[in-house]
Amino acid sequence: MDKWPIGVFASVDAGLGVKLEVAKELGVPTIQLHAPHAASRTKANAEAFVKRLDQLGIQLTCVFGGFEGESYADIPTVASTVGLVPPATRTSRTKELKEIADFARLLGCKVVGLHIGFVPHDTKDPLYRQTLDVTRDVCDHCAKNGQSLHLETGQESADSLLQFIHDVERPNLFINFDPANMILYGTGEPIAALKKVGRFVKSIHCKDGKWSPEPGKTWGQEVPLGQGDVGMENYLRTLKEIGYDGPLTIEREIPQEPERQKAEIGHAIRLLTDIRKKVLA
Ligand code: MG
């Protein structure tokens, strides 16, 4: 694989990504995939999907876990509904995430991605301990599959994330860095954060956003790539600085407007292709 191949976030029947056909139309060589619903995660479907990717010449670089009942409506709702942190759903979701990892293995994919949820900032909080335990459990399951677990950034500051990864103590735990999420959740200036956590960054999203007037309290606004506060050239220069050479996976979370989503991703591909050329020159 060349350095920094372009990618898109894709989905089959669950999640916010584009359809595989759109990825093909856009001509991208890689995708990250939102895990399909449980009923679709069969061996036969996995085989058919692998064949289809082969035909399209698209490489799958990460399978993202997601769960029924998660809502990104506002920041407090994320805290109470997303990932493995909320206690009420933790056992069933942990089981499901392991099934998703096994499905990713059937797809030949060595990376499982996840929004783990809001990890408590107080390391003495019992919920913090519990989140460490469940993350270890999932990491160990992934390790048996020869996989890594990548935590999506957003809900934690760079320092909290480093502390958490340190405390989990598993060699296959890494970061999927999303610069826009740092802005949308108000958890820190993304370039400074990327420099801090760089050694753990093994996959990334290319997404843009604008700061909320009340960072951390209300959502910032996701916008088309290049129109937000991330600073795409600076982002790619920093990725080069930290030695990242994996895919540049574009995420544009407006699946309710598929035509606009496709057009804006098309624009993002051209933008990233230009900046990549300049930065790698
Ligand atoms: Mg993301």
Instruction: For residue 235, report the distance from its CA to the centre of ligand 1, in Å.
Output: 15
Instruction: For residue 250, report the distance from its CA to the centre of ligand 1, in Å.
Output: 9
Instruction: For residue 178, report the distance from its CA to the centre of ligand 1, in Å.
Output: 5
pLDDT, mean of residues 176-197: 97
- Return residues with CB closer than 5 A to ligand 1 (ion): 178, 205, 251
Phi, psi for residue 172 in degrees, rounded to 5? -105, 25
Instruction: For residue 145, report the distance from its CA to the centre of ligand 1, in Å.
Output: 24
Tokens at 231, concatenated: 């600073």
Instruction: For residue 95, report the distance from its CA to the centre of ligand 1, in Å.
Output: 23
List the domain boundaries for the chain: 6-280
Instruction: For residue 153, report the distance from its CA to the centre of ligand 1, in Å.
Output: 7
pLDDT, mean of residues 163-189: 97
Instruction: For residue 232, report the distance from its CA to the centre of ligand 1, in Å.
Output: 15
Residue 2 has pLDDT above 90, yes or no: no
Instruction: For residue 183, report the distance from its CA to the centre of ligand 1, in Å.
Output: 12
Encode pLDDT of 198-229 as tens digits: 999 999 999 999 999 999 899 999 999 999 99
Hey, what amino acid is at 208?
D
Instruction: For residue 152, report the distance from its CA to the centre of ligand 1, in Å.
Output: 6
Encode pLDDT of 13-57 as tens digits: 877 889 999 999 999 999 999 999 999 999 999 999 999 999 999
- At residue 132, the pLDDT reads 98
Instruction: For residue 181, report the distance from its CA to the centre of ligand 1, in Å.
Output: 7
Determine the Cα–Cα distance for residues 232 and 237; give it in Å rounded to an integer.
9
Instruction: For residue 205, report the distance from its CA to the centre of ligand 1, in Å.
Output: 5
Instruction: For residue 43, report the distance from its CA to the centre of ligand 1, in Å.
Output: 27
Query: What is the CATH architecture assignment of 6-280?
Result: Alpha-Beta Barrel (3.20)
Tokens at 79, concatenated: 């805290």
Instruction: For residue 215, report the distance from its CA to the centre of ligand 1, in Å.
Output: 18
Average pLDDT, the chain: 96
SS3 of residue 202 by DSSP: strand
**Cβ-proximal residues to 134 (8 Å cutoff; 6+ apart), any chain:** 84, 90, 94
Confidence of residue 181 (pLDDT cuts 50, 70, 90): very high
Instruction: For residue 123, report the distance from its CA to the centre of ligand 1, in Å.
Output: 25
Q: Express as a percent the part of the chain with pLDDT over 70.
A: 100
Instruction: For residue 251, report the distance from its CA to the centre of ligand 1, in Å.
Output: 6
Residue 163: Cβ within 10 Å count: 16
Q: Could you give the angle at which helices 190-197 and 232-241 cross, rounded to 10 degrees?
A: 10
Determine the Cα–Cα distance for residues 21 and 1; give it in Å rounded to an integer.
22
Instruction: For residue 177, report the distance from its CA to the centre of ligand 1, in Å.
Output: 7
Encode pLDDT of 82-135 as tens digits: 999 999 999 999 999 999 999 999 999 999 999 999 999 899 999 999 999 999
- At residue 53, the pLDDT reads 97
Instruction: For residue 182, report the distance from its CA to the centre of ligand 1, in Å.
Output: 10
Confidence of residue 157 (pLDDT cuts 50, 70, 90): very high
Residue 196 has pLDDT above 70, yes or no: yes
